[in-house]
Amino acid sequence: MDKNEEDVKNFNEKFIKENSRSITEQDLQKVSDIADKIEQKFINRGPLKRFLDDGKLLISVIKDYIKGQYRKIPYWAIAAIAFTLLYVFNPSDVVPDILPMLGLVDDATLVGVCLYLVERELKDYQIWKQTSSDHRE
């Protein structure tokens, strides 16, 4: 990673951390309520397509957290995920999606940084998800 890429990553990391502090339970519910629309952003939007499976995983952990089925994830991670998903959904974020490709690259970059920040927590969630679904069968 060159210096410019490192600077962008650090900026986005700070951006997520600062903005996720204001995420509330109502914001988590909003993510759950508009989950299908958020997923469509991943399906229909160029650079976000590569994160489709990750986007579904992020939505899933939010839904399981809201239902109280999975609470082993720290709130800072849930807030970072919710902030990122709401950012992706918002067409007029810092770099508006209407700007050809640039607005979508901005969203994809933020998703990538969020995944980096919550990687350990997502791995734990995936293990829990697999284990709990194995017991239901």
- Is a pLDDT exceeding 80 seen at residue 34? yes
Q: Would residue 137 count as lying in a domain? A: no
- pLDDT tens by residue, 6-24: 887 888 899 999 999 999 9
- Is a pLDDT exceeding 80 seen at residue 133? no
Domain span at residue 24 reads: 3-129
Q: Would residue 31 count as lying in a domain? A: yes
Q: How many domains does the chain have?
A: 1
Q: Would residue 94 count as lying in a domain? A: yes
Q: Would residue 134 count as lying in a domain? A: no
Q: Would residue 53 count as lying in a domain? A: yes
- pLDDT tens by residue, 62-117: 999 999 999 999 999 999 999 999 998 886 544 444 445 445 677 888 899 999 99
What integer pLDDT is reported at residue 104 of this predicted model? 60
What integer pLDDT is reported at residue 47 of this predicted model? 82
What integer pLDDT is reported at residue 94 of this predicted model? 47
Task: Name the 3-class secondary structure at 132.
Answer: helix
Q: Would residue 136 count as lying in a domain? A: no
Phi-psi region of 101 (alpha: psi -120 to 50; beta: other; left: phi over 0): left
Q: Would residue 74 count as lying in a domain? A: yes
Q: Would residue 83 count as lying in a domain? A: yes
